[in-house]
Structures are given as C-alpha cells and as structure tokens.
C-alpha cells in the first residue's frame, strides 16, 4: 500500500511560524508538524531572510534551522536538479530560485508544493503548487 503523498515546502511558508500573523503562523505550524521535504536551498534562503530581513541573531537562526531539520527531510540540490530547474524556469517563466525548488520537489516525488508566492494552482507534471493561506 503506497504511503502518504509527499509534500515540499517553499521558504516563505516555513518562515510564517515566526510571524506575528497568528492565523498564518498556526497554519504553517500545523503543516510542518505533518512532515514533508525541503532542500538545502530552502535552508539557505531561510537563513538569508532571518539574518538580513528580520535581523535575527545567529543563535536563534541556528535554532530555527534545527527545528526545520528535525521536522522535515532535507534533500541536496544536485547538478541534475539544477539542470531540471533551468529547464523549468524557461518553460514556466519561473524565477531561477523558484524553479530550483520546483525541480527539487519533483525529484523528491512530491505531489504538493506549499508556497505563498508561486502561482497557486500551477501544475508542473504531477506537482501541484498550492498556497496554504487561501
């Protein structure tokens, strides 16, 4: 019997667990508790956003990243994913960074990509991009 379909998280959804928006923070936390997958790129983007946009201290950044890593499977960004991401960026007019996340989600066998800032409802092969906040 097949297992639960895998889900992938975009950086913006993860960062809502720290938001003052209690509704979005609650939805993000509930989704994270069900598990899923992220790529190393998502960890890097989260680090950048926490340090540069929110001025979070390094020890707190490390704690947040540890939380994400404990709840979610982390996959590397390989050259195969990079090549696939470049093709997806061209075909779907995605930013390079978004396309790399889509490529990693596809490579991981995911059926859902939770993202607030990508086009909700866009289907890329078997992968459906969905905004968890609408």
Q: How far is CA 25 from CA 92, 114, 117, 124, 127, in A?
A: 29, 14, 16, 27, 24
> Which residues neighbour 58 within 8 Å (Cβ) at sequence distance 6 or greater?
51
Calculate mean pLDDT across residues 42-67. Answer: 96
What are the strands, taking DSSP E only, across the chain? 7-9, 37-39, 73-75, 112-114, 123-124, 127-130
What residue spans define the domains of the chain? 7-130
pLDDT, tens digit (0-9, with 9 covering 90-100), for 9-41: 999 999 999 999 999 999 999 999 999 999 999
Beta-bridge partners for 127: 124
What average pLDDT is seen over the chain?
95
pTM above 0.85, yes or no: yes
- Work out the average pLDDT over 112-125: 95
CATH fold group of domain 7-130: Rossmann fold (3.40.50)
Whether pLDDT at 2 is above 70: no
Q: Would you place residue 5 in the very low, low, confident or very high pLDDT band (cuts 50, 70, 90)? A: confident
Selected residue with higher pLDDT from 54 and 79:
79
| pLDDT mean over 58-79 | 97
**What pLDDT does 1 receive?**
37
Q: What is the pLDDT of residue 3?
A: 65
């Amino acid at each position: 019997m097949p297992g639960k379909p895998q889900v992938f998280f975009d950086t913006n959804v993860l960062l809502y667990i720290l938001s003052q928006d209690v509704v979005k923070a609650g939805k993000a936390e509930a989704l994270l508790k069900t598990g899923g997958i992220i790529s190393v790129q998502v960890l890097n983007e989260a680090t950048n956003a926490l340090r540069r946009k929110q001025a979070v201290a390094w020890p707190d950044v490390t704690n947040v990243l540890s939380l994400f890593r404990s709840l979610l499977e982390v996959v590397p960004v390989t050259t195969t994913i990079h090549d696939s991401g470049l093709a997806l960026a061209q075909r779907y007019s995605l930013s390079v960074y978004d396309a790399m996340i889509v490529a990693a989600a596809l490579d991981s066998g995911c059926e859902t990509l939770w993202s607030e800032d990508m086009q909700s409802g866009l289907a890329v092969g078997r992968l459906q991009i969905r905004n968890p906040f609408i």
